[in-house]
Amino acid sequence: MEKLLEQIHSPGDLKKYNIKQLKNISQEVREFLLHSLSQTGGHLGSNLGVVELTLALHYCFNSPKDKLIWDVGHQSYVHKIITGRKDLFPTLRQINGLSGFPKTTESMHDIFNTGHSSTSISAGLGLAKARDLAGDDFSVISIIGDGSLTGGMAFEALNDAGRSNTNLIVILNDNQMSISQNVGGLSQYLSELRTEPIYLEVKDDVEQIFKKIPRIGPSLIQTMGKAKESIKYFFIPGILFEELGFTYLGPIDGHDLESLITVFQKAKKMKGPILIHTKTIKGKGYTPAEKKPCSYHGVGPFQLATGKPVQSVAQETYSQVFGETLVRLAHKNQKLVAITAAMPEGTGLDFFAKAYPKRFFDVGIAEQHAVTFAAGLAAGGYKPVVAIYSSFLQRSYDQIIHDVCLQNLPVIFAIDRAGIVGADGETHQGIFDLSYLSHIPNLTIMAPKNKEELIQMLEFATDFNGPIAIRYPRGSVSNQGSNIYTPIVHGKGELLSKGSDMGIIAIGNMVDTALEVIENLRVKGYNPSLLNARFVAPIDETMIIQMATQTSYLFSLEDNLVSGGFGMQVMETLMKYKLNHISFHAFGFPKRFIEQGDCKQLYARYKLDAISITEQILTQFDKTKGEVANG
């Protein structure tokens, strides 16, 4: 028998079915997700958790007229399946393939691009206000997880939306999980709200409930007077949201299609801001994912029967080295404390959390708070290490400037996932950090070339008295050149190769590529110098001047945008010392958003792999040599 899911190509197709059939469809969607993601990898647990929720949304609302906005967007796969993109799933998160996040360019059903958390309520409110101004009539629905609700923007938006008098539906998908167990007071509050049908009824009015009690009810209401308000607190769950100005509906079982459909139909007719609280299970329907939701939040290809990864050769990652080194350093330095914004596993801080639970802080998805909280700890005499992914640290720009660097506080920024990250695409590429950090006064910025250097830099940073950032890439460590050991000196690079006809200055991850490039150039008969810059700020001016006096050709290599990045710091030095005779070229990413794809493919596409760089250097070298000769 043909599967019902095969007949669904748009949300309209879904509406033909009855609840029983919808239940079958939810089963088919789960099977499809499991089969497909076991091959490609992706955000498994979150999507298994929103199957019924997504079906019910598309059943009750009319996308794209009604606007569905997915917070973070990693849980939008079911939405993609229902909106005609099922057949693209074999290309999920690959170069030129289906995005793992909502993308307005991919479908008219994707209303707002996401990837970073806690934006959906703000975006939803904006769309709702735009609708009101234009005199339109449709529903706007923001779907946000309890993890994403810990982000400051979500609170700011609730605060604004609650008193906005605007029709906006916020669906809180509460599974008690962020990537790890969710944290904080709000999470605790939500966990105490239990799913009981009476609550939906209670919403209409507490008074109505009391009126129904024979004889004593009405007189009770009369005598209660002001006490009524406090009784409301006792009877109505979600009073927090009510006080903010939302009508709170729930909590309801987010896997029960009937309840979901009932409450969505009801919400559609109501006025003002509404918050529907659904309780779901992350990884629902797949035992390994239900048992270990954190491990199945995002997965690579896995064996369906066991849930085990297809590739199990675990290579050591920079995050692991960071986490393990920090534990060792914390043993020696009692003042060392560590902070994560909801990414203990991803950053490698889970080691630290186990070893020093009292000195470890998971602040929720709150990068801005994380940084200022670290500044406070530093002001209080501690040595905070804030570990945040490069792209998420974008949120903390002002906190880094205003709260840390302006006061010259000794905060260590461990910037993970710097450079391109691959499959997560535009929203997650860590290619802006050197541009948004290098101009900040007082901030020292380093990038290690390999595992050993990351360890050295962490040791250096813990002894350093001022704000300091170390940026390192996603994935397995490089061990190249680890037999060479030169101590870290503030603002000094490491000369890896002394040559005569051209100089290459590489930073961090790109030193590996540079080593290949100089080998290629040597084969072609050239004799290049190679400087491992180590420091982006302060940059090693002495070494750059020295290189510039020995050759007329300098090249910089980085895995950041050229615009505002490391190469521009080299350029600034050349300008500062009037080294105008130098032919200089900066290799890095162009000023554009870098799409998803395998990192190797992306390096090749942007001509940042060793072969392409060698070719470009040779062309440049020959061209300028010709110009110099002719001139």
Ligand X SMILES: Cc1ncc(C[n+]2csc(CCOP(=O)(O)OP(=O)(O)O)c2C)c(N)n1
**Catalytic residue set:** 282, 367, 395
Q: Which two tokens stand for residue 84?
A: 């005609």
Q: Does 146 help bind ligand X (rule: CB under 6 A)?
A: yes
Q: Does 390 help bind ligand X (rule: CB under 6 A)?
A: no
Alpha-carbon dihedral sign for residues 589, 592, 596, 602: negative
- Residue 524 CB, nearest distance to ligand X (Å)? 44
Give the nearer residue to ligand X in terms of CB position, either 403 or 424.
Answer: 424
Residues in 549-568 that interact with ligand X by CB under 6 A: none
Distance CA 20, CA 23 (A): 5
Element holding 528 (H helix, E strand): strand 528-532
- Residue 145 CB, nearest distance to ligand X (Å)? 2
Give the nearer residue to ligand X in terms of CB position, either 113 or 117.
Answer: 117
**Burial per residue of 125-159, b for 16 or more beta-carbon CB atoms within 10 angstroms, e otherwise:** bebbbebeeeeeebbbbbbbbbbbbbbebbbebbe
Give the nearer residue to ligand X in terms of CB position, either 171 or 543.
Answer: 171
Residues in 339-378 that interact with ligand X by CB under 6 A: 342-343, 365, 367
Only segment of 69-77, 121-129, 549-557, 575-583 that touches ligand X (CB under 6 A): 69-77
Q: Which two tokens stand for residue 57?
A: 């949304």
Give the nearer residue to ligand X in terms of CB position, either 147 or 251.
Answer: 147
- Residue 319 CB, nearest distance to ligand X (Å)? 14
Which residues lie closer than 8 Å to 392 by C-beta, 6 or more apart?
116, 341, 367
Q: Does 117 help bind ligand X (rule: CB under 6 A)?
A: yes
Can you tell me whether residue 180 is helix, strand or coil? coil
Only segment of 174-182, 185-193, 370-378, 514-522 that touches ligand X (CB under 6 A): 174-182
Q: Is the peptide bond before 538 cis (omega within 30 degrees of 0)?
A: yes
Give the nearer residue to ligand X in terms of CB position, either 93 or 297.
Answer: 297
Looking up tokens 């969607």 gives: 29
Distance CA 515, CA 527 (A): 13
Nearest to 370 by CA among 184, 587, 93: 184
Only segment of 15-23, 143-151, 474-482, 570-578 that touches ligand X (CB under 6 A): 143-151
Which residues lie closer than 8 Å to 618 by C-beta, 6 or more apart?
521, 524
- Residue 531 CB, nearest distance to ligand X (Å)? 34
Q: Which two tokens stand for residue 436?
A: 């948004």
Residue among 102, 145, 162, 348 that touches ligand X (CB under 6 A): 145
> Sheet holding 528-532: strands in order across?
494-497, 528-532, 502-506, 553-561, 583-589
Total residues belonging to the chain: 631
What 8-state DSSP symbol labels residue 317? B
Only segment of 1-9, 139-147, 592-600, 617-625 that touches ligand X (CB under 6 A): 139-147
Residue among 70, 296, 351, 392 that touches ligand X (CB under 6 A): 392
Only segment of 71-79, 155-163, 502-510, 602-610 that touches ligand X (CB under 6 A): 71-79
Amino acid at 27: Q
Nearest to 254 by CA among 43, 79, 49: 49
Q: Does 429 help bind ligand X (rule: CB under 6 A)?
A: no
Give the nearer residue to ligand X in terms of CB position, either 238 or 499.
Answer: 238
Q: Going by DSSP bridges, is the β-strand pair 444-446/535-537 parallel, antiparallel, or unpaired?
A: antiparallel
Can you tell me whether residue 607 is helix, strand or coil? coil
Taking the CB of residue 283, how many other CB atoms lie within 10 A of it?
Answer: 26
| Stretch 475-514: interaction string toward ligand X, x if CB under 6 A | ----------------------------------------
Q: Does 147 help bind ligand X (rule: CB under 6 A)?
A: yes
- Residue 187 CB, nearest distance to ligand X (Å)? 9
Nearest to 497 by CA among 477, 517, 478, 479: 517
- Residue 295 CB, nearest distance to ligand X (Å)? 13
Q: Does 175 help bind ligand X (rule: CB under 6 A)?
A: yes
Q: Which two tokens stand for residue 44?
A: 């498994």
Size of the site for ligand X (CB under 6 A): 24
Q: Does 286 help bind ligand X (rule: CB under 6 A)?
A: no
- Residue 321 CB, nearest distance to ligand X (Å)? 21
Are 326 and 350 in contact by the 8 Å Cβ rule? The answer is no
Q: Does 178 help bind ligand X (rule: CB under 6 A)?
A: yes
In order of 349, 357, 370, 470, the CA distances from 386 in angstroms are 10, 15, 7, 11
| Stretch 296-335: interaction string toward ligand X, x if CB under 6 A | -x--------------------------------------
Only segment of 145-153, 451-459, 562-570, 594-602 that touches ligand X (CB under 6 A): 145-153
Residues in 581-620 that interact with ligand X by CB under 6 A: none
Q: Does 122 help bind ligand X (rule: CB under 6 A)?
A: no
Residue among 34, 123, 158, 177 that touches ligand X (CB under 6 A): 177
Residue among 38, 40, 63, 75 that touches ligand X (CB under 6 A): 75
DSSP H helices, 292-406, are 318-332, 344-347, 350-355, 367-379, 390-393, 397-398
Q: Give me the residues that bind ligand X (CB under 6 A), please.
A: 46, 49, 72, 74-75, 116-117, 145-148, 173, 175, 177-179, 282, 297, 342-343, 365, 367, 392, 395
